[in-house]
């Protein structure tokens, strides 16, 4: 029943210590604790950055899938981010949620970062400004944004235990900066801590992050929650400022343990009251006291959301190369009226793997989008390359104990399996994925009678959360002796499997049996300690080793245009692990496909769907390249809109594309060293502030290591940027203006980028040559021109001086550059700062 918003001070006075403590951990996986006797409601949260998935990690009610964050950042459109935030708030409501676990703003430190696609950019200003739009869009609709992961969470390798060693200058200028921008300009109602440690202290109990910076210097007053399973202590986490341990029920904040700490003087009652106050304040912001209901989850497929996703997905696509204007595709240029669709044309790569994935309302493949856009053209399809990472579940030609298709699954509550099982069920395949429930099973045994129809040395792959074995006709053919190397990757579908081969004869029956036991508590993802999980994959030798390339080359030869769709399926780019390679998966198969097709058809166009920069060793052989990212559920339509010219590409790169992985600034310091001698794994941010383009821009040699620079993107029209001028507004700021004109034949959008750099930086304080300080997106009709004015302040020219703990503006000359990309300067002016100055953090 609804009730008026209470006086929080009075409510806290009425509560016992134990009641206050109970509010500081989740009730279950997605909800906070309620106290009916005190009129305190609970609220529900939902993943994630690009869609409100709801409670189920797999196969729950369908939801709208929006473009991933790198796709959204490629629009350089803060207003579009706000519109997507509005729509995500509406989506969250359909799942009964009042808080969305996003946005992710950690800068891209390295191209192999496993969750880069969830975050916006390598540049802290672009990331922060896009987050501002996203957060405002969510919260003006009454849904809390949860900005994450605070802080220095730039890798997945050893993410639960790794210690990120980062200088304070790099922290302030790069890794904390997008959080600072979003905190100060949009005031997100919640912050999520990271799994990793920062300079020796876990993020959830890091007083420098949570007390000194977030609540102190930035003056933020919202609620801090841990990442799921990311609380690492009782006293230290509470004292540092983590208000809410998630998920529930609690592991660290049992009432008896916390009460005892208070009574023993190890923790003050004031700390508990402040943590509880922050939880209650969020309930007030969410209007949960007025309406405490948590409605059941629904699938609401809104036309306006579909249109927004299609538009945003297309506007985020970056045209990297367009030799001789091969794009947009025109029917009148097709002599044979035939287009080859190759590679991943039948797959809709709409999101990365992990907690950002959703069970989308629908998925439009590139093939479907192009057929709708180019209906009377003959399309010829060929896959051309193997891209699987995991073998498909073993589900065909197998019978259970009753002779029906499937497997017999036996579950035991003890490790003694000599007697009857505690549970016997039939299942389609030997897969058991725990969804964070308190399973009682200690052993699972799955048995199937396999009668192959094709002879061959077929492939099998077994993975368990705990020790597991695979037997064929009673003989062990594979064993996993310890816990799964990455339990979260196992859950999320991106685990690297070990495959074995066994010769099978068609028509003969084989008894296949797998056995797994619960994992031991040896660290890793705390939520999966002592859980049980199992997966058995299978693939025929003929399918595994099939020659797909020859058919694709033949199709390309006979077509006017060859469209090759490349990318990362979600098991290759996923939460839980960093990228396996800078090259497209698997084992060079996609690179070989592009290379061979380009050799067969001079009109080869590549459309790449990844959330990160990838190697393009074939770039000089193809006519055009589109970087489509993960554009959401309308992927195929958005891609087709750009290919045929319905949408003029306006995306600009939010990350640099290096030529080689060795050219990346963090190369050699990513993902760091393994645990040794009792010390946790460590990653050292030795590149300091020289992340992304700040590194590549330092000299001619470095520029030659860049395939496509930060901010780059082509259009089907042309723009002229001229008349760059600087005017001093007051003592603290300057206006930089430029004249922008569409000099082409179609309407389009240009992104005007303002960079600044000190011309005579002191040798003992190395400064980047250029840093992004402001940007604006300008849409112009053919022949139309506009004056663009961007503001820059003295403080924007500062660097963080560690010795004094302040932001310092040095006296001297600074170059202000209006650019089309960081490497394409349209015009520059020099300003002189006469008086040095400093600013408190």
pLDDT tens sequence across 368-418:
999 999 878 999 999 999 998 899 999 999 999 999 999 999 999 999 999
What's residue 467's pLDDT? 94
**Residues 811/834, Cβ–Cβ less than 8 Å:** yes
What's residue 768's pLDDT? 95
User: Is 3.50.50.60 the CATH classification of the domain at 398-544?
Assistant: no
What's residue 761's pLDDT? 64
What's residue 440's pLDDT? 78
What's residue 439's pLDDT? 66
For residues 570 and 92, the model is more confident at 92
Per-residue pLDDT, averaged over 714-732, amounts to 96
Residue 151 pLDDT grade (very low, low, confident, very high; cuts 50, 70, 90):
very high
**Residues 465/518, Cβ–Cβ less than 8 Å:** yes
Identical fold, 398-544 and 717-839: no
Name the CATH superfamily, with its identifier, for domain 717-839: Immunoglobulins (2.60.40.10)
- Burial class of residue 334 in the structure, from the number of CB atoms within 10 Å of its CB (0-12 exposed, 13-18 middle, 19+ buried): middle
Residue 804 pLDDT grade (very low, low, confident, very high; cuts 50, 70, 90):
very high
Looking at domain 305-383+557-571+592-703, its CATH class is alpha beta
Q: What is the DSSP pairing of strand 561-567 with strand 338-343? A: parallel
What's residue 494's pLDDT? 72
Chain segment 514-556, per-residue pLDDT in tens: 999 998 876 556 667 788 999 999 999 999 999 999 999 999 9
| pLDDT over 70 at 436, yes or no | no
What's residue 432's pLDDT? 83
For residues 20 and 57, the model is more confident at 20
Of the candidates 591, 603, 599, which has an alpha carbon nearest to the alpha carbon of residue 563?
603
Q: Rg of the chain's alpha carbons, rounded to an integer? A: 28
What's residue 56's pLDDT? 87
> Rounded to an integer, what is the distance from CA 394 to the centroid of its chain?
30
- Three-state DSSP state, 318: strand
Residue 484 pLDDT grade (very low, low, confident, very high; cuts 50, 70, 90):
confident
Q: Where are the alpha helices (DSSP H) in 111-191?
A: 124-139, 168-170, 177-186
CA–CA separation, 43 and 226 (whole Å): 16
Helix (H) or strand (E) holding 703: helix 700-703
Phi, psi of 79 (to 5 degrees): -65, -40
- Percentage of the chain beyond pLDDT 90 is 88
Residue spans per domain, the chain:
305-383+557-571+592-703, 398-544, 717-839
| pLDDT over 90 at 59, yes or no | no
Query: Does residue 233 come out as left (phi exceeding 0), alpha (psi in the -120 to 50 range) or beta?
Result: beta
What's residue 291's pLDDT? 96
DSSP secondary structure letter of residue 621: G
For residues 345 and 676, the model is more confident at 345
Strand locations in 631-784 (E): 657-658, 682-684, 706-708, 719-730, 733-742, 748-758, 771-780
| pLDDT over 80 at 242, yes or no | yes
Per-residue pLDDT, averaged over 284-311, amounts to 97
| pLDDT over 90 at 496, yes or no | no
- Three-state DSSP state, 721: strand
User: What's the CA dihedral at 596, 597, 599, 600 to 10 degrees?
Assistant: 120
CA–CA separation, 683 and 536 (whole Å): 34
**Residues 373/646, Cβ–Cβ less than 8 Å:** yes
What's residue 823's pLDDT? 95
| pLDDT over 80 at 702, yes or no | no
- Three-state DSSP state, 443: strand
CA–CA separation, 109 and 127 (whole Å): 13
DSSP secondary structure letter of residue 177: H
Q: Where are the alpha helices (DSSP H) in 538-688?
A: 541-544, 549-557, 589-600, 635-643
Residue 762 pLDDT grade (very low, low, confident, very high; cuts 50, 70, 90):
low
Cross-strand partners of 40: 35
> In this predicted structure, which of 28-37, 161-170, 257-266, 696-705 has the lowest mean pLDDT?
696-705
CA–CA separation, 269 and 41 (whole Å): 23
- Percentage of the chain beyond pLDDT 70 is 97
> Rounded to an integer, what is the distance from CA 564 to the centroid of its chain?
25
Which residues are part of the catalytic machinery? 227
What's residue 554's pLDDT? 97
Residues sharing a CB contact under 8 Å with residue 607, sequence separation 6 or more, in sequence order: 366, 563, 564, 565, 566, 625, 626, 628, 639, 643
């Amino acid at each position: 029943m609804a009730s008026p918003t209470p006086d929080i001070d009075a409510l806290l006075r009425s509560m016992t210590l134990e009641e206050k403590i109970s509010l500081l951990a989740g009730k279950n996986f997605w909800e906070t604790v309620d106290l009916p006797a005190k009129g305190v409601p609970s609220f529900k949260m939902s993943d994630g950055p690009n869609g409100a998935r709801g409670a189920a990690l797999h196969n729950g009610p369908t939801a709208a899938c929006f473009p991933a964050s790198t796709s959204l950042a490629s629009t350089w459109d803060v207003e579009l981010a706000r519109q997507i935030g509005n729509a995500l708030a509406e989506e969250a409501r359909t799942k009964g949620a009042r808080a969305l676990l996003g946005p992710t703003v950690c800068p891209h430190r390295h191209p192999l970062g496993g969750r880069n696609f969830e975050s916006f950019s390598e540049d802290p200003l672009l990331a922060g400004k896009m987050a501002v739009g996203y957060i405002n869009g969510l919260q003006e609709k009454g849904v809390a944004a949860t900005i994450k992961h605070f802080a220095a969470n730039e890798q997945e390798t050893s993410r639960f235990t790794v210690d990120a060693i980062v200088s304070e200058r790099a922290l302030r200028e790069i890794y904390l900066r997008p959080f600072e921008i979003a905190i100060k300009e949009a005031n997100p109602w919640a912050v999520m801590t990271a799994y990793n440690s920062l300079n020796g202290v876990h993020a959830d109990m890091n007083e420098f992050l949570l007390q000194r910076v977030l609540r102190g210097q930035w003056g933020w007053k919202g609620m801090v929650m841990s990442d799921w399973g990311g609380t690492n202590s009782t006293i230290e986490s509470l004292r540092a400022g983590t208000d809410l341990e998630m998920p529930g029920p609690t592991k660290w904040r049992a009432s008896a343990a916390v009460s005892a700490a208070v009574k023993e003087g190890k923790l003050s009652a004031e700390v508990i009251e402040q943590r509880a106050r922050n939880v209650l304040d969020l309930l007030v912001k969410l209007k949960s006291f007025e309406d405490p209901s948590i409605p059941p989850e629904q699938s609401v497929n809104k036309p306006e959301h579909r249109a927004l996703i299609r538009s945003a997905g297309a506007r985020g696509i970056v045209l990297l190369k367009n030799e001789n204007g091969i794009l947009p595709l025109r029917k009148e240029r097709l002599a044979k009226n035939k287009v080859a669709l190759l590679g991943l044309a039948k797959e809709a790569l709409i999101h990365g793997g992990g907690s950002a994935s959703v069970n989308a309302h629908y998925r439009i493949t590139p093939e479907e989008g192009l057929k709708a856009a180019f209906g009377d053209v003959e399309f010829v399809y060929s896959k051309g390359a193997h891209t699987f990472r995991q073998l498909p579940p073993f589900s065909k030609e197998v019978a259970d104990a009753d002779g029906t298709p499937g497997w017999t699954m036996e579950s035991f509550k003890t490790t003694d399996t000599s007697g009857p099982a505690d549970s016997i069920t039939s299942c389609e395949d030997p897969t058991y994925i725990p969804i964070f429930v308190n399973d009682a099973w200690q052993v699972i045994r799955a048995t199937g009678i396999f009668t192959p129809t094709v002879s061959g040395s077929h492939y099998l792959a077994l993975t368990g959360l705990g020790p597991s074995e695979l037997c064929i006709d009673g003989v062990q053919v594979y064993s996993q002796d310890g816990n799964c190397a990455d339990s979260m990757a196992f859950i999320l579908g991106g685990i690297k499997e070990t495959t074995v081969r066994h010769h099978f004869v068609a028509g003969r029956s084989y008894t296949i049996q797998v056995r797994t036991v619960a994992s031991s508590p040896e660290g890793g993802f705390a939520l999966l300690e002592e859980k049980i999980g199992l997966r058995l994959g299978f693939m025929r030798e003929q399918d595994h080793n099939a020659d797909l390339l020859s058919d694709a080359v033949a199709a390309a030869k006979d077509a006017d245009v060859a469209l090759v769709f490349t990318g990362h399926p979600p098991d290759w780019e996923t939460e839980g692990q960093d990228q396996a390679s800078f090259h497209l998966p698997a084992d060079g198969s996609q690179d070989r496909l592009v290379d061979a097709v380009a050799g067969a058809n001079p009109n080869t166009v590549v459309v790449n769907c990844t959330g990160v920069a990838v190697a393009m060793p074939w770039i000089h052989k193809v006519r055009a390249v589109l970087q489509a990212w993960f554009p959401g559920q309308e992927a195929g339509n958005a891609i087709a809109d750009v290919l045929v010219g319905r949408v003029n590409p306006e995306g600009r790169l939010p990350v640099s594309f290096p030529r080689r992985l060795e050219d990346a600034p963090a190369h050699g310091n990513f993902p760091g060293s393994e645990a040794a001698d009792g010390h946790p794994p460590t990653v050292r941010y030795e590149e300091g502030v020289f992340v992304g383009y700040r590194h590549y821009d330092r000299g001619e040699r470095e520029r030659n290591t860049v395939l496509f620079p930060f901010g780059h993107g082509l259009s089907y029209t042309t723009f002229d940027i001229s008349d760059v001028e600087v005017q001093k507004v007051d003592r603290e700021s300057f206006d930089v203006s430029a004249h922008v004109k569409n000099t082409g034949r179609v309407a389009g959008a240009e992104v005007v980028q303002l960079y600044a750099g000190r011309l005579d930086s002191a040798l003992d304080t190395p400064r980047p040559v250029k840093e992004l300080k402001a940007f604006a997106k300008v849409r112009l009709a053919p022949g139309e021109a506009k004056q663009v004015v961007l503001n820059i302040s003295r403080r924007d020219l500062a660097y963080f001086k560690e010795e004094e703990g302040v932001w310092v503006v040095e006296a001297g000359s600074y170059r202000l550059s209006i650019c089309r990309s960081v490497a394409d300067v349209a015009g520059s002016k020099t300003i002189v700062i006469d008086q040095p100055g400093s600013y408190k953090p």
